[in-house]
């Protein structure tokens, strides 16, 4: 024991707790507000980089294949994050999330998965380096954003 650092002892004691902790998405946030902040941050990152692609496909800034790829990569990664932030009890607070997210959970999951799939396709399109491919995939992905906002986000 003398030669084992306190940090190692602590880590061993905490490991089983960490396993339990990861057992459900809900347990990964100490408070509902943390889950709200987390999912909003993920949507902010996603929207920021999606918007940069939008500026390109709408010719507000010049098309740059490499920039498009970087942005699409980030959008795809960020798209996988927010769903787990919709924990029970996180419909109250600094959020525009509608109660239907929880009362129509299957429908919300489908809407989320449609977005994740469309954004993966956007990333594939970005990798072709072709602006027309990017524009088409951007339009499709944008429709999945809008569909979810229409049903599940308050004004």
Rounded distance between C-alpha atoms, residue 2 and residue 63, angstroms? 62
**Region binding ligand ASC by CB under 6 A among candidate stretches 4-12, 59-67, 85-93, 141-149:** 141-149
Cβ(127)–Cβ(69) below 8 Å = yes
Task: Tell me if 82 contacts ligand ASC by CB under 6 A.
Answer: no
Distances (CA, A) of 66 to 85, 109, 120: 31, 32, 17
DSSP 8-state symbol, 63 = -
Residue 31 touching ligand ASC (CB under 6 A): no
The minimum distance between CB 142 and ligand ASC, in angstroms, equals 4
The Cα–Cα gap between 143 and 49 comes to: 16
How many chain residues interact with ligand ASC (CB under 6 A)? 7
By CB under 6 A, tell whether 50 contacts ligand ASC.
Answer: yes
Binders of ligand ASC among residues 101 to 130 (CB under 6 A) are none
Binding interface with ligand ASC (CB under 6 A):
47, 50-51, 54, 142, 145-146
């Amino acid at each position: 024991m003398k030669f084992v650092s306190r940090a190692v002892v602590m880590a061993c004691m905490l490991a089983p707790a960490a396993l339990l902790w990861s057992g459900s998405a809900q347990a990964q946030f100490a408070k509902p507000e943390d889950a709200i902040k987390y999912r909003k941050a993920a949507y902010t990152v996603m929207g920021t980089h999606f918007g940069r692609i939008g500026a390109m496909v709408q010719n507000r800034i010049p098309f740059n294949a490499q920039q498009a790829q970087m942005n699409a990569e980030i959008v795809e990664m960020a798209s996988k994050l927010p769903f787990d932030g919709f924990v029970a009890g996180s419909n109250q607070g600094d959020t525009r999330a509608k109660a239907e997210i929880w009362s129509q959970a299957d429908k919300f999951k489908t809407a989320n998965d449609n977005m994740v799939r469309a954004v993966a396709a956007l990333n594939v399109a970005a990798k072709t380096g072709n602006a027309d491919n990017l524009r088409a995939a951007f339009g499709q992905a944008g429709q999945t954003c809008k569909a979810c906002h229409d049903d599940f986000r308050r004004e």
